[in-house]
Amino acid sequence: MPDEVNVLYIKAKSWLNASPPRTLTIGFALIIAAGVLLLKLPISVREGHDLSWLDAVFTAASATCVTGLVVVDTGTFFSTFGHWVILALIQVGGLGFMTMSTMFAFFMRRRLSLKERLILQEALNQDSLQGIVKLVRKVIFYALTIEAAGSLLYTLRFLFDMNAGKAIYYGIFHGVSIFNNAGFDLFGDYRSLSDYLSDPFVNLLSIVLIFLGSVGFIVLADLVEYPKRRRLMLHSKVVLTVTAFLFIAGAVLILICEYTNENTLDPLNFGDKFLASMLHSISPRSGGVSTVDVSSMRQATQFLIVGLMFVGASPGSTGGGIKTTTFAVMIVAMLAVIRGKEDIVLFRSRLEKDKVYKAITVTIYSLALLIAATMILSVTENHTFMTVLFEATSAFATAGLSMGLTPELTDAGKAIVIVLMFIGRLGPLTLFYAAGSKPGRTLYRHPEGKILIG
């Protein structure tokens, strides 16, 4: 018996003193656990409501993974204390718990250890430790500045609809939630931003906040320094190009598909149709907000949004999906094969082969995960295939858009969606590395073989 205890102790110690991916996994799990305990407090829900343990886990996971899928209505179910708990989870989940802990370390004037820097490198998806602390400082500054500006602008707009105290409260909540691409709202009845369908100010502000939250802090830092350097990094060029293409193409296609749909855009004037199309084109970047009923859209539009959610945001951002850079590498690699080119070239720069392999791995793993989850949900949930596929993709991409399935999920369905949100926030490869260890360099090569492709 003592030997077994020692073995368990050694295993537990190895997990706690583990690699950065494993530390991130454990950290996010602990944050969700803390959120569950806080949300289960009687003070977190309004009188007459009772939150089950599973629903508490779902809500805490959705907030920490900045998803926005909800099984209970956030605005009417939770109390003010519960709202602040959710907002705190969104903030920690959006910036990452290591970024938040680093911020406190700065306040305490404490130097970061090598292990902490390695964890930050993994959390921010960086290739090296060089300049990691400087980047974290920029992340904290940009995030807090943008959130403050967004909160102030929302507050000024909400002052026309509610008293000052409520306007400030709603302004802060939605400023933080939408910048972090969480998609949580306080308007009640699962309405999201539908009350502001024809409001250019709220729509454009939401679009800007989702964009700033989805392109990644690396790109934001590069854009801020552009006037001084007069050039952008390759990463920024790819992110901005793909983001702009998906946003414009998505808006045009949504406008075309929904233009005559009497349940969505048909009753609106052209200006409102255009606004709604733009918002629902960028919201799949992981924004999670909507002004029209997604379940009333045509299936072509819903499938388009599934594709946009699957691509998702960009590396180092608050969003999910396979990421815009992965999508770009896959497309360029495909074109290179079609043209018979050996090198994968983006903006006159040749990409390393391991980047292509990584992009293929992330895409295939994500597709396999979505296929498996959709098949299981098709069994556990009594809904159409499109509804199930949409909800599964939204959970994995931490998009938060819903066709109405989430509040009706069975217990098994909730568990599956929780897992999808967790994997989507951490990233497929991080979880792979957390389960084992990063592969080392192979010291030998097998003989070359040949197979037929295509």
Nearest CA to 313 among 222, 225, 231, 213? 213
Mind listing the pLDDT tens digit for each residue in 221-263?
888 888 888 888 888 899 999 999 999 999 999 999 999 999 9
Mind listing the pLDDT tens digit for each residue in 409-428?
999 999 999 999 998 888 77
Is the distance from CB of 218 to CB of 235 less than 8 angstroms? yes
User: Which segment of 23-27, 127-131, 162-166, 197-201 scores lowest on mean pLDDT?
Assistant: 127-131
Higher pLDDT, 351 or 366: 366
| Average pLDDT over every residue of 402-408 | 90
Higher pLDDT, 428 or 217: 217
Which pLDDT score, from 0 to 100, does residue 5 have?
47
CB proximity list for 308: less than 8 A, separation 6 or greater: 246, 250, 281, 284, 285
Which pLDDT score, from 0 to 100, does residue 16 have?
46
Task: Say which amino acid occupies 417.
Answer: V
- Residue 78's DSSP bridge partners are 45
Which pLDDT score, from 0 to 100, does residue 440 have?
58
Mind listing the pLDDT tens digit for each residue in 169-204?
999 999 999 998 888 999 988 888 889 999 999 999
With residue 5 as reference, give the H or E element that holds it: helix 2-16
Which pLDDT score, from 0 to 100, does residue 394 have?
94
Q: What is the DSSP string of 365-390?
A: HHHHHHHHHHHHHHHHS-S-HHHHHH
Confidence of residue 348 (pLDDT cuts 50, 70, 90): confident
Distance CA 67, CA 392 (A): 12
Which pLDDT score, from 0 to 100, does residue 120 have?
53
Is the distance from CB of 280 to CB of 290 less than 8 angstroms? yes
Q: Is residue 132 over pLDDT 70? A: no
Mind listing the pLDDT tens digit for each residue in 383-394?
999 999 999 999
Q: Is residue 10 over pLDDT 50? A: no
Average pLDDT, the chain: 84
| Average pLDDT over every residue of 270-275 | 93
Higher pLDDT, 307 or 355: 307
Confidence of residue 306 (pLDDT cuts 50, 70, 90): very high
Distance CA 287, CA 305 (A): 12
User: Which segment of 11-20, 143-152, 154-163, 295-304 scores lowest on mean pLDDT?
Assistant: 11-20
Higher pLDDT, 13 or 375: 375
Is the distance from CB of 258 to CB of 301 less than 8 angstroms? yes
Confidence of residue 20 (pLDDT cuts 50, 70, 90): low
Question: Rounded to 5 degrees, what angle do the CA atoms 423, 377, 23 make?
Answer: 15
Question: What percent of the chain is predicted at pLDDT more than 70?
Answer: 82
Which pLDDT score, from 0 to 100, does residue 192 have?
87
Which pLDDT score, from 0 to 100, does residue 124 have?
53
**Range list of β-strands (E), 220-378:** 345-346, 349-350
What SS3 class is residue 453?
coil
Q: Which two tokens stand for residue 184?
A: 């949580």
Q: Is the dihedral of CA 173, 175, 181, 186 positive or negative?
A: positive
- Give, in order, the Cα–Cα distances in Å from 262 to each of 255, 265, 268: 13, 6, 9
Mind listing the pLDDT tens digit for each residue in 59-104?
999 999 888 899 999 989 999 999 999 999 998 888 764 555 455 4
What SS3 class is residue 96?
coil
Q: Centre a 10 Å sphere on the Cβ of residue 12 and count the other Cβ atoms it contains.
A: 10
Three-state DSSP string of 168-232:
HHHHHHHHHHHHCCCCCCCCCCCCCCHHHCCCHHHHHHHHHHHHHHHCCHHHHHHHHHHHHHCCC
Confidence of residue 127 (pLDDT cuts 50, 70, 90): low
In this structure, what DSSP letter does residue 71 have? S
Distance CA 350, CA 344 (A): 6
- pTM listed for this prediction: 0.87
Which pLDDT score, from 0 to 100, does residue 414 have?
94
User: Which segment of 150-159, 260-269, 343-352 scores lowest on mean pLDDT?
Assistant: 343-352
Q: Is the dihedral of CA 226, 230, 236, 240 positive or negative?
A: positive
| Average pLDDT over every residue of 429-441 | 60
Q: Burial letters for 166-176: b for 16+ Cβ neighbours within 10 Å, e otherwise? A: ebbbbbbbbbb
Q: What is the DSSP string of 246-263?
A: HHHHHHHHHHHHHTT-TT
Is the distance from CB of 118 to CB of 133 less than 8 angstroms? no
Which pLDDT score, from 0 to 100, does residue 168 have?
94
Which pLDDT score, from 0 to 100, does residue 96 have?
65
Mind listing the pLDDT tens digit for each residue in 142-161?
888 999 999 999 999 999 99
Q: Burial letters for 30-66: b for 16+ Cβ neighbours within 10 Å, e otherwise? A: ebbebbbebbbeeebbeeeeebeeebbbbbbbbbbbb
349-350 and 345-346 beta bridge pairing: antiparallel
Which pLDDT score, from 0 to 100, does residue 109 have?
54
- Residue 350's DSSP bridge partners are 345
